[in-house]
Amino acid sequence: MKTHKINFEPLGLSGRCRTNESLLACAHRFGVGIISLCGGKGNCHSCQVQVLTGTVSEPTPHELEVFSSQQLKEGWRLACQTYPASDCTLSLPPNSLTTLQRVQVEGQEVAVSPEPTVTAYQVKLSTPSLADPQADADRLLESLNRQHRLRCNHIDFSALRKLPPQLRSWNWQCRASVRADEVITLGPWPSRQLGLAIDLGTSKISGYLIDLGSGQTLAAKGITNPQASYGADIISRISYAMKSPGKGARLQKVVVEALNQLAIDLCAEASAEVEEIVDTVAVGNTAMHHLLAGLPVGQLALAPFVPAVSRALNIKAGNLGLHIAPGAYLHLLPNIAGFVGADHTAVLLATADTESKGMMIAIDIGTNTEVSLIDSGKIVTTSCASGPAFEGWHIKDGMPAASGAIERLRIVNDNIQYQTIDGKPAIGICGSGILDAMAQLYLAGVLDKGGRMARNHPRVRSENKHLEFVLVSEEERDGRRAIVITQQDVRELQLAKAAIRTGIQVLLETQGHREEKIQKVIIAGAFGTYIDVANAIAIGMLPSLPLDRFQQVGNAAGTGARLALISLSKRGEAQKIVSGVRYIELASVPSFNKTFIQASYLGRYRLRQGKREEID
């Protein structure tokens, strides 16, 4: 039978597809994780892909139902309904991909001209003699400055300590890595210059190994933040660190050790040595930032929630115990406030188009959700305590986004359709699944606008006088405990989503804007990337705007860190962003309480001055 070559972008995977095999079936055969809730029947609409090149079968009625003629013209199709008629290139949007492959997509290139902070120069030195006994360091600096018209005036001290034997073993020829007026490290010539970008999240750490010359990402990896053993959320870690100076030092040590191992793993993947890493940029929320740098965190947890430092820091990586090139710096992007850290700065750096005329919102959803409103180059930012519910905490059957977690869910005619991570049997429900469940329960009439669960639905039952909705029954789990959403879970989620909506609303009101004016909503972060935006609107977590105004950008904090690593101008831009940001403390806004109460309602509505105008 005839086959065609299918390229799956941006994954960079390809394989051959028979003409009687759907694009979805072909993708699954090659391990490409396209979401399919209905199992390929064409009615869940989750397997949307864009055909960039090549010819495919005609649209089916299912597809005509989902897509506008404009969208069909642009190549949008349901993978389960489409068969190839020639070689094709498909673009898979993050929203159609399962968790693991979305993480892979995050490792893609960032588009900025390399303009690294550290530059490598080849230096040829004359050999010292009795007639020319100039000191090694002075000889090196003079040769470097003369040969490359530089004005370096010092050598990093740990590099200096190795200099005399190294110059002799390299036969008086070397690579000098220069940062501003300092030689930060030396190596044999030729040698690569690598950089490490780190997104230090409360629960997850992402690392990217970059070739500073080309800006190319050589390797990317995500690991668990080992500080989690000392407290799952920021506040419990701050409490731990405050017990004694030794505890803070311990939190620093475990994260530095993890970063060292991450650097080793990334280098192994790229056949590199950690000593080739000559520059590092890290971003994280203010608490993670402070704990990494060994700064006190006590004042972060008490009003008025003040960081030890906001402005960008350059710290000798070796002083923190990071084992990379001697003399390399760790650059920490500037923090915005006690609860708006360098990670949000990085998100703004990666996403905020401060030149644009249209108003935009950037949201990074997490235990703490940062929201920025960007309008005519001005940025106002706030932070909302959205809590850990969307990370699966305090939810009866909640779990992190791991194998077997329900990550997508739909209720069709009282039937529950769901998809788990890795396609494994369901064992719990993760953030994006929880959000889907809540929206679907509301749309199915199981929850009312106030979030109260209907007693009369066949899947609603009372356990110890507490109502719960059965997502996966005992029978469906071969006798194991059912997976449920409880009335209490719904209340937790209402608080979480109300916090986010209130943050957006307060920013709009302080600027005198209405939500209809928002031209673009950037949703960053792991959780934000995987949510179904329509469902998030359905529960009133996000304002009701046309779906095409929303953009789920993945790990924008990691992207911002990579941009700052590659480009000196981007570091300047980050400082400029932070200097211009006006931070608004939610608790200090008079309308906060009223708005928060209204924002806890489900459904689509507009908020104004603490009042709710329903749309449907």
Report the interface residues with its own copies, using CB under 8 A: 128-138, 141, 154-155, 157, 160-165, 168, 293-296, 298-299, 303-311, 313, 315, 319, 335, 337-338, 583, 585, 587-588
Least distance between its own copies and beta carbon 267 (Å):
24
Of 217, 339, 343, 322, which is closest to residue 280 (Cα–Cα)?
322
Least distance between its own copies and beta carbon 509 (Å):
17
The span from the CA of 293 to the CA of 109, in Å, is 28
Distances (CA, A) of 105 to 10, 16, 32: 7, 22, 12
Least distance between its own copies and beta carbon 331 (Å):
13
Residue 572: partners with Cβ closer than 8 Å, 6 or more residues away: none
Residue 301: partners with Cβ closer than 8 Å, 6 or more residues away: 235, 238, 239, 242
- Nearer Cβ to its own copies, position 46 or 185? 185
Of 507, 585, 504, 488, which is closest to residue 537 (Cα–Cα)?
504
- Nearer Cβ to its own copies, position 126 or 376? 126
Residue 523: partners with Cβ closer than 8 Å, 6 or more residues away: 363, 365, 529, 531, 533, 550, 551, 552, 553
Q: Three-state SS for 105?
A: helix
Quick one: which H or E segment has residue 198?
Answer: strand 194-200
Least distance between its own copies and beta carbon 163 (Å):
6
Least distance between its own copies and beta carbon 311 (Å):
6
**DSSP character string of 334-374:** PP-BTTB-HHHHHHHHHH--TT-SSEEEEEE-SSSEEEEEE
Least distance between its own copies and beta carbon 97 (Å):
39
- Nearer Cβ to its own copies, position 273 or 585? 585
Least distance between its own copies and beta carbon 205 (Å):
22
- As a whole number of angstroms, the longest Cα–Cα distance in the chain is 99
- Nearer Cβ to its own copies, position 332 or 526? 332
- Nearer Cβ to its own copies, position 332 or 484? 332
CA 267 and chain centroid, separation:
22
Least distance between its own copies and beta carbon 283 (Å):
16
What is the DSSP code (8-state) at residue 148?
Answer: H
- Nearer Cβ to its own copies, position 83 or 170? 170
- Nearer Cβ to its own copies, position 309 or 443? 309
- Nearer Cβ to its own copies, position 586 or 607? 586
What residues does 486 pair with on adjacent strands? Answer: 468
- Nearer Cβ to its own copies, position 137 or 256? 137
- Nearer Cβ to its own copies, position 84 or 307? 307
Q: Is the distance from CB of 314 to CB of 279 less than 8 angstroms?
A: no
The span from the CA of 566 to the CA of 118, in Å, is 9
Quick one: which H or E segment has residue 442?
Answer: helix 431-443
Least distance between its own copies and beta carbon 183 (Å):
12
**DSSP character string of 523-572:** EESHHHHHS-HHHHHHTTSS----GGGEEEEESHHHHHHHHHHHBHHHHH
Least distance between its own copies and beta carbon 168 (Å):
8
- Nearer Cβ to its own copies, position 128 or 400? 128
Of 505, 507, 493, which is closest to residue 536 (Cα–Cα)?
493
- Nearer Cβ to its own copies, position 9 or 142? 142
- Nearer Cβ to its own copies, position 79 or 293? 293
Would you state the structure tokens that stand for residue 53, as one six-digit string? 């090149």
Least distance between its own copies and beta carbon 318 (Å):
10
The span from the CA of 466 to the CA of 469, in Å, is 10
Q: Is the distance from CB of 205 to CB of 224 less than 8 angstroms?
A: yes
The span from the CA of 452 to the CA of 210, in Å, is 50
Q: Is the distance from CB of 162 to CB of 174 less than 8 angstroms?
A: no
The span from the CA of 579 to the CA of 381, in Å, is 12
The span from the CA of 453 to the CA of 460, in Å, is 8
The span from the CA of 284 to the CA of 91, in Å, is 31
The span from the CA of 580 to the CA of 336, in Å, is 10
The span from the CA of 232 to the CA of 90, in Å, is 39
- Nearer Cβ to its own copies, position 80 or 155? 155
- Nearer Cβ to its own copies, position 43 or 134? 134
